[in-house]
Amino acid sequence: MVFCPPEASPLEWMLLTNLPVNTFDEAVEKVSWYCLRWKIEILHKILKSGLKVEECRLETAERLMRYLTVMSVIAWRIFFITTIARTNPTLLY
C-alpha cells in the first residue's frame, strides 16, 4: 500500500496489469505483488553488481546451480541486513 502523509495531497495513480482485478481485495493483492518486484530487483542487483555472479565461469550446470544457490543465500542475507540497518539501526548493535 502507498501511504500519504496527512499534510500532503494524495496522488492518484494507476497500475496496469494483464491479471483480472474485480474486487478491491484483488487490487490490493496485485499492488502488493508489484511492491515485491522492487525487492526482487534489489536482490538481483546485489547478485550481479555486488557479488558479481555473472563473472563466474564454472564448467557444468550442476556446479553453476550450487554456486548460484550459495550466492543467493549470501545476497539475501546482505539484503536482509541492509533492510534492518535502514529501518532500525539499533538492532544491529
Task: Tell me the angle at which helices 61-87 and 24-45 cross, rounded to the nearest 10 degrees.
Answer: 110
Give, in order, the Cα–Cα distances in Å from 70 to each of 7, 28, 73, 77.
46, 34, 5, 11
The confidence band for 93, taking pLDDT boundaries of 50, 70 and 90, is: low
Query: What is the C-alpha R_g of the chain?
Result: 19
- 55 band by pLDDT with thresholds 50, 70 and 90: very high
pLDDT digits 0-9 by tens, 31-50: 999 989 999 999 999 999 99
